[in-house]
Amino acid sequence: MKVNYADIVISAASKKQYPKAPIPEIALAGRSNVGKSSFINKMIQRKNLARTSSKPGKTQTLNFYIINDLFHFVDVPGYGYAKVSKKERAKWGEMMEEYFSEREQLRATALIIDSRHKPTEDDVIMYNYLKHFGLPVMVIATKLDKLKKSQKHKQLKTIQEVLEMEEEDTLIPFSSETGEGKELAWKTMLAHLNM
């Protein structure tokens, strides 16, 4: 997929700010700092359109990006950051529910997982949460460049097993550093978008 045009549409704090254009969407979920924004940037070949940060737990908005006027990427706020108040956590939950339960044009999700580690309890909860909405989940095992070649197979198998991934879901080994997995990610996304 050649991306000729990509831009941020809005950082939405609530439903009324979601873009109205009825174009299909792919949402990205994952722990804070796992590499969601880097994934978007790599896929669309832009250095820093989706803001990456070394400080976790920052984004508390749904960031909508338009790609080639064809579809939206939605960068969803991350989870699993310890230093978050109860109140903020509750707000995050409401934000997720409001988006995932009601967004008609949402076609699939990408759950970004750190390939170096066993999925966390929160990762498992998130996978099941997305499946409960009947959504296809592409599991992106990112930061693959940080693994030794000999570890890759075992780590990928662990991810698949711990998440108890369903048949329809694709596991995609990925690195935003090297671009490994980009082709499979595009192929899978375009299939979900019916393009």
Ligand X SMILES: Nc1nc2c(ncn2[C@@H]2O[C@H](COP(=O)(O)OP(=O)(O)O)[C@@H](O)[C@H]2O)c(=O)[nH]1
Which residues contribute to the site for ligand X (CB under 6 A)? 30, 32-38, 52-54, 78, 142-143, 145-146, 175-177
Buried b / exposed e over 124-137, threshold 16 CB at 10 Å, is eebbebbbeeebbb
User: How near is the Cβ of 55 to ligand X at its closest, in Å?
Assistant: 9
Give the one entry of Mg ion, ligand X, none that residue 145 binds, where binding means its C-beta sits below a cut-off of 5 to 8 angstroms depending on kind.
ligand X
User: How near is the Cβ of 39 to ligand X at its closest, in Å?
Assistant: 7
Give the one entry of ligand X, Mg ion, none that residue 38 binds, where binding means its C-beta sits below a cut-off of 5 to 8 angstroms depending on kind.
ligand X
Question: By beta-carbon distance, which residue lies closest to Mg ion?
Answer: 37
Residue 19 pairs in a beta bridge with none
Picking from 53, 83, 84, 85, the residue whose alpha carbon sits closest to that of residue 75 is 53
* Cα(174)–Cα(139) distance, integer angstroms: 10
C-alpha 82, offset from chain centre: 20
Give the one entry of ligand X, Mg ion, none that residue 35 binds, where binding means its C-beta sits below a cut-off of 5 to 8 angstroms depending on kind.
ligand X
Q: Is the Cβ of residue 115 or residue 188 nearer to ligand X in the bound state? A: 115
Question: By beta-carbon distance, which residue lies closest to ligand X?
Answer: 35
Give the one entry of Mg ion, ligand X, none that residue 115 binds, where binding means its C-beta sits below a cut-off of 5 to 8 angstroms depending on kind.
none
* Cα(124)–Cα(158) distance, integer angstroms: 12
